[in-house]
Structure 1
Amino acid sequence: MSVELQHFIIHRLQNNGQDQLTPELQQEEMVLSETASLLVEELHRKFNAKPSKGIGRFVEGSDSVFPSLLSHSSADFIKFSQQTCQLIADKMADYGLANECYLLFTEYRFVAQHFLLISEVPVKERVTCNDKMEIGKFRFLDADALQLAIRFDQMQIATEQDNFATFIKGRAGRKVADFFLDAMAIEEQVDRKAQAEQLGSAISEFCDQYVPTPEVQAEIKKEVVAYCKERQDAGESVPVHGVSELISAPSEVSFSDFIASAEEPLPAEMEPELKTLKQLTRFAGTGKGVSVSFDASLLGNRVKYDPQADCLTITEIPPNLKDQLIRKLTSSSN
């Protein structure tokens, strides 16, 4: 599957030498070439794969001009991108930022989806050596380093649905994208981590009550995580009815009926954070020089935890770890 480009343009924010940014704006859209399609397809894939994303909508009562610009983006994409680029530059100045960067604006379709993506595209330099053994430099757009981007679901906007904007939160949390979101008057509405915790808790309770064996429970949880990852890799939300169809078969009670009676019902569509949801299938933690990770199904069997003594006991440790420990003990005793 590949993207179908409708609009594509890249502007540049240059530092004028006085810690101020000056937009260098393109006056024409760029050619919708195969190379452009490959770049957008890679950005689309990297965006979907980002583990920490937020979902939001326009700030209610905001006096920002961006919502109006967005509503006319398809009619005059050049003007939309130029004015949005200026908004971002102004907001960066408000935040005291003066980092040169390229800003990519593209509207595209992917399968049955319709998106508008605004992204800072990182640029890197590499040293080359040609056939004449001459050293040179070249610059390239590095989609792998994508850290700042927001994507608007045009279909959700057209049907006046909330939470139509998805953005990368970054490793340090939302603050890494504050100026970017403020420039477009977007505020976060959906806590994906909380959604993952709610979904994971509901699945665990369902399995404990209605799925007979630990082996089947473990398999169900792995299938749920794989299903959610597959949906999010494709840029799609996770329908709860899809989760229900996936895990209800071993039980006489459907997952949909189970959650319908819950005090806090699950939303019909979710965007659970995968990192948190993976706690269904795996325990992991790092601290004070120790890193531990194991399948959740092993707890109570090969792995036992004593909360009073704060002690974790592991039997049948991995052979490669056992070999290292034995060699260390042997060398210490000599």
Structure 2
Amino acid sequence: MPIRHITVHHIHKTPNGSVSELSMRDTELPESACNDDLLSDLNESYNSKQGKAWGFFHAESGAHPLSGWLGKYLDGGTDFMTFSKQAVQHLQKLMDESNLTVGGHVLFCHYVQGMTDYLTIAVLHHSQGVAVDEHLNVSESQHLDVGQLHLAARINMSEWRNNPKSRQYVSFIKGKNGKKVSEYFRDFIGCQEGVDGPGETRTLLKAFSDFVESEDLPNDAAREKTQALVDYATSQSKLGEPISLDELSELIDEERPKAFYDHIRNKDYGLSPEIPADKRTLNQFKRFTGRAEGLSISFEAHLLGSKIQYDEESGVLTIKSVPTQLAEQLKRST
């Protein structure tokens, strides 16, 4: 991931302090392996976060000026440091208006992944540790704790500039239980939610289950296709990339690479060609299995509550929409 530009500023603000202090760098960080390692660790932490949201910019205004400054920078009307200073001063202003937040080191990084330009903005904090120096002396040490990432956003600048109708070129950490502490950061980015990641992922899994059922596949084939979906979606989630329905369709059935894609379009599930992979929803896409006294039952977890009902009091499991193959066997036995 080549870094085009990277810098860091510092906003010092105590939890209950009304006024912050801002220290700004005058130049970009010089090229170094440390920068590369920091970006790699930051991306890994960001991609692993659950509860992210995807959206797009509000129209540029006094309340939401970031997109205008970013556009001017990309058009060559200003340089990266000027953009970062404008942005961090605006962030400081919003921090001062919030009594729910503390400051931190604010990282701005413009980097390239593949053919795509990204901008990551993150508020980082220090963690206290212990280090041993070359003389074997033990001393306290501070380091940036990218693992504890709560305020961060990633902007797909290529998608923003090349696809104006897109509603998912900005992602940001939404915060657990919609904490208000992250709302000011969303306002700082100036974005609104455009895609329901968990909802889209659930719809995709529903479409996949319907597809498998309509194909009347043997159990082994169904498990193989399920694993292909989970592996691909999980991989995309780790990379911070969306699920491409085209790519997924090819992986699910190499002999008929358009079969699943056509199923989605013909049934009109309302899915976009690319959807964000929601890690929490993917983790719930697993199988319940049980075997006892000649009875073997296995089904995907997301079917519980829809096609499969379980009454805990009576211990009764009700199955709706019995698979065609099983239904035929039952008919022949009566």
CA shift in 2, pair 1:13/1:29, >3 Å: same
Aligned equivalents of 2:256, 2:17: Cα separation in 1: 67
Q: Tell me which amino acid in the other structure corresponds to 2:275.
A: M
Deviation at 1:234, TM superposition (A): 2.5
CA distance in 2, matches of 1:250, 1:111: 28
2:329 aligned partner: none
TM-score relative to the length of structure 2: 0.79
The alpha-carbon distance between structure 1 residues 159 and 251, as it changes in their structure 2 partners (threshold 3 A), is: closer
Residues 197-251 of structure 1: CA deviation (Å, up to 9, x unaligned):
1001000111112142233222211210110122232332211122222224588
Could you tell me whether the CA contact under 8 Å between 1:210 and 1:253 is conserved in 2?
A: no
Q: Distance in 2 between matches of 1:143 and 1:108?
A: 18
1:146 aligns with 2:149: yes
- Does residue 219 of structure 1 match 2:218? no
- The alpha carbon displacement at 1:139 in A equals 1.1
Q: Secondary structure at the match of 2:111?
A: strand
Deviations 1:157-205 (A, max 9, x none): 2214322211122333364421111012111111100001100100011
Conserved 8 A contact 2:130-2:138: yes
On the 8 A contact 2:60/2:68 being kept in 1, the answer is: no
Distance 1:199 1:126 in 2: 44
CA contact (8 A) 2:154 2:170 kept: yes
Question: Within the alignment, does 1:183 sit opposite 2:191 as a pair?
Answer: no
Task: Give the whole-Å Cα distance in 1 for the aligned partners of 2:314 and 2:180.
Answer: 35
Aligned with residue 117 of structure 1, among 115, 120, 130: 120
Match of 1:323 in 2: none
Q: Which amino acid aligns with 2:51?
A: S
Aligned to 2:7: 9
User: How many Å apart are 1:130 and its aligned residue?
Assistant: 5.0
Q: Does 1:106 align with 2:109?
A: yes
Misfit runs of 4+, over 6 Å? 250-253
Report 1:41-190 matches (<5 A). 41-60=40-59, 62-63=61-62, 64-74=64-74, 75-128=78-131, 135-161=138-164, 162=166, 163-173=168-178, 175-190=180-195
Aligned equivalent of 1:311, options 293, 309, 315: 315
Identity of aligned residues (%): 23
CA RMSD of aligned residues (A): 3.1
Q: Any unmatched runs of 5+ in structure 1?
A: 285-293, 314-334
Q: Deviations over 1:243-262 (max 9, x none)?
A: 22222458899112222222
Partner Cα distance (1:227, 1:55) in 2: 20
Residues in 2 aligned to 1:98 and 1:235: alpha-carbon distance in whole angstroms? 26
Q: Deviations over 1:301-329 (max 9, x none)?
A: xxx9742636389xxxxxxxxxxxxxxxx
**TM-score (normalised: structure 1):** 0.79
Q: 1:72 is paired with a residue of what secondary structure?
A: helix
Distance 1:215 1:278, change over 3 A: farther
What amino acid is the match of 1:10?
Answer: V
Task: Give me the whole-angstrom Cα distance separating, in 1, the residues matched to 2:179 and 2:127.
Answer: 25
Pair 1:258 & 2:258 matched: no
Q: 1:249 to 1:281 in 2, by over 3 A?
A: farther
User: What count of residue pairs does the alignment treat as equivalent?
Assistant: 299
Amino acid at match of 1:311: G
**In structure 2, do the counterparts of structure 1 residues 252 and 70 end up closer, same or farther at CA, with 3 Å as the change threshold?**
closer
- 1:270: which partner in 2? 275
When structure 1 is superposed on structure 2, of 36-45 and 11-20 the one drifting more is 11-20
- Relative to structure 1, the CA distance from residue 229 to residue 131 in structure 2 (aligned partners, 3 Å threshold; closer, same or farther) is closer
Separation of aligned partners in 2, 1:32 and 1:154:
22
